[in-house]
Structure formats: C-alpha cells, structure tokens
Amino acid sequence: MADESKGILGHLPPLPRKALNNSVIGMEQAYRQRKGLPLLSDADIEALKAGEPMPWERGDGAGASAAPTAPAAVSAPVAAAAPLPPPTASGVISEEVAKWVADGKKWSKSAIAAEQARRGRKGLPALTDAEVTVLLGEPAAPATAASTPAPAAKPAATPTARPVAAAASAASSVAHAGESTRYVGTPAVGTSKAAAAGGLAAVGPEDSEINRGRRRFAWTAVAAFLTAWFLAFFRFFLPRTLFEPATSFKVGYAADYGLGVDTKWQQKYRIWVDRTPDRLFVIYARCTHLGCTPDWKPSENKFKCPCHGSGYDSEGVNFEGPAPRPMDRAHVEIAPDGQILVDVSKLYQWPKGQPSQFNDDGAFLPV
C-alpha cells in the first residue's frame, strides 16, 4: 500500500488485536470507500485475519520495501508514483480521477455507477470511457501519433489491478449502461432499476409483436373468466323457474262427486270439492292462520293443519287452533259443456265477526 495509507486505522481496533473475520473486514472496506480513504490491501487483509500487525504497522511491509533507501520518495509528487494515463479517443482523464488512481483506491462496477449518479445529481460531467477503464484497472489504450507524448515508464502494478479480460467486460457494461448514469437514488433490490444501476442488463421478455399478442390473450382470458363468474354470481339470486298455475279450470261434472270431501285436485289445483245433500262448493286449501295446506282426516271427519294445529270441520269452518276464520271458498259455475268451472282468483270469505259470503251466488252450486 502507498505511504499515504500509513497510520490510517479507520474503524479497526489498535494493536494488540484479535483475528478479525470477513464481516468486520468488509465493513471496514465499505467505510473506507465511503470516506475516500485508501482501501486495505491483500497483505493487510491477511494480517487482520491472522490477528497480526499489518505491514505498515510492523514497518517492514510493502510500503517500506517500495522505497528503502530514498526517504524523499515519500514526499514525491503524485504523478511520479502513478503517472497520468494519456488521453484516449473516448476523452481525457481528469486530475481528480488521476489522483484516485494514484491513491490506490479500489473501484468496482457499483462504485462507478454510484459516482456517475452523484455526478448527475450535482450537474457534473460524467466519467468518460477512458476514466472508467482506468478506475477499473485496465491499461489505457495507445494514444495517436498527434496527441501521444514521449513514451513513459509503465506505472507500477498496484493491489487494485484486475485481470484485463474481466476489467474490459466490466468497463463496457458500466460505461454503456445509460440507466446507471440517469437513475438518481438507491434502487430497490431485485428490480430492473437496481440491475441497471449496478451496470447489469435488465432481464425481461422482448417487446415483440408475438409477446404483445400473448399478453393481450392472457388479459382477455382473465376478463372473460371474471365476466362469467360475475354473471353466474348474479344469476344465483334470480328465480330458477316462473310457474303460475291456472286460476280458472274445469273439474268435471257434478254427478262425478258423491257426498263428502273429494281430494283428487289437491296436488294440482290446491282445492277440495265438497258435496253436501243440497249443494256443491269448492274449498281453497289454505289455512287462514299462516297459509299452510291442511290435511283431510277422513277418520276424524275434519281438516287438520300440520303447521300449528288449526282444525276445520268437513265444510272448512274452524273450530280449534289459532285459525281466526273458516277457509275460503272458490267461485264455481256451470260451463256451457255442463262441467263445473272453478275460478280461484275470486274467493268467498267469512271474516271473523262479519257476515258470511258462503251463501252468495257463485259460492256454491245447488244440487
């Protein structure tokens, strides 16, 4: 490490110290990078892991061996330790970048991308391709005859040097990643912005006509499924069938019925045909309590409501239970063909405490 790094401990504990793990050394490197301090060299890291003094702390490390007999070399200008690389076709190298190179600061793709973003926020010119290449450790490209000065000694290799192939690929990915120079702030991990800010190409489907067609088909299928689901949901609340039985119908001839209650039309029309010695009438089979259909009990000669126990005699007159009045009777008349025509849309009642309608015309047929 260069002489300027001597005596800079950063956040490292002073001697004597225990062996440090990779996590502590990584935090120290990040701290030095944020503060612009020289990074730890490989020899320093090995000494910290072993719990031994770093070379510059022993006084016999790389810094002392770099200039053992010439103390003046410590105060030599920066250009003597790391001469300014010549300009290239992509631009010249600024003095600030040259100083960074001379200080031996390690640069990575993410560090260069962060520097590019900082320059964009501050309105400073972005790093050129030549500056990015030098910061990554790649030797500068040969200069042209018109602009190249006299040949100079090749700069001494520093611990920050990287293989040429890796540096070239990293430099091209960062230098030409426009998103890394435009994005401001810290992008979220796992997003395309984060990949671009780190100098990596975002991974995603190609915006081609085929992919657009696939996306349209997928969204159409989703919309069709939701539409069908909503239609089925609202259909659930609609009635399944709409059946209204006829209100006027024929039930045969009067001679077809004997004395008593005939229940053959109960299921179809909800009526009973009741014949007495002097008349024939039709009882509408609906309990006057809450509308249930009573049952005819021939052995007991009465109608019995199964819901709440209301009882009616053979003519439909209530005599027990909560029923407030007799069951209604339907309108009856003789059709032109001689059959009995029943109309349940017109009912005759006997309200409680009121005159009866059971003797009105149409409430019965004389026999």
Residue 21 lies in a domain: yes
How far is C-alpha 327 from the chain's CA centre? 63
Would you state the pLDDT for residue 56? 82
Residues 327 and 263 in one domain: yes
Residues 87 and 198 in one domain: yes
pTM: 0.37
Residue 149 lies in a domain: no
The 10s digit of each residue's pLDDT in 111-154 is: 888 888 888 888 888 888 888 888 887 665 554 443 444 444 44
Pick from 281, 286, 250, 288: which is nearest to 266 by CA? 286
Q: How much is the CA Rg of the chain, to the nearest whole Å? A: 52
CATH number at residue 289: 2.102.10.10
Give the C-alpha separation, 181 to 117, whole Å. 5
Domain boundaries, position 350: 248-366
> How many domains are there within the chain?
4
The 10s digit of each residue's pLDDT in 75-124 is: 333 334 444 444 444 457 888 888 888 887 778 888 888 888 888 888 88
The 10s digit of each residue's pLDDT in 302-314 is: 999 999 999 999 8
Residues 200 and 210 in one domain: no
Residues 227 and 311 in one domain: no
Residues 189 and 213 in one domain: no
The 10s digit of each residue's pLDDT in 192-216 is: 555 555 555 555 677 889 999 999 9
Residues 220 and 332 in one domain: no
Residues 2 and 63 in one domain: yes
How many residues in the chain? 367
Q: In the listed set 182, 214, 243, which residue is the last one of a domain according to the structure?
A: 243
Residue 338 lies in a domain: yes
Residues 261 and 217 in one domain: no
Residue type, 71: P
Contact between 40 and 28 (Cβ < 8 Å): yes
Residues 89 and 196 in one domain: yes
Q: Which two tokens stand for residue 350?
A: 């006997």
Q: At what angle do helices 22-35 and 42-50 cross, to 10 degrees?
A: 140
Residues 49 and 15 in one domain: yes
Residue 150 lies in a domain: no
Q: In the listed set 76, 107, 126, which residue is the last one of a domain according to the structure?
A: 76
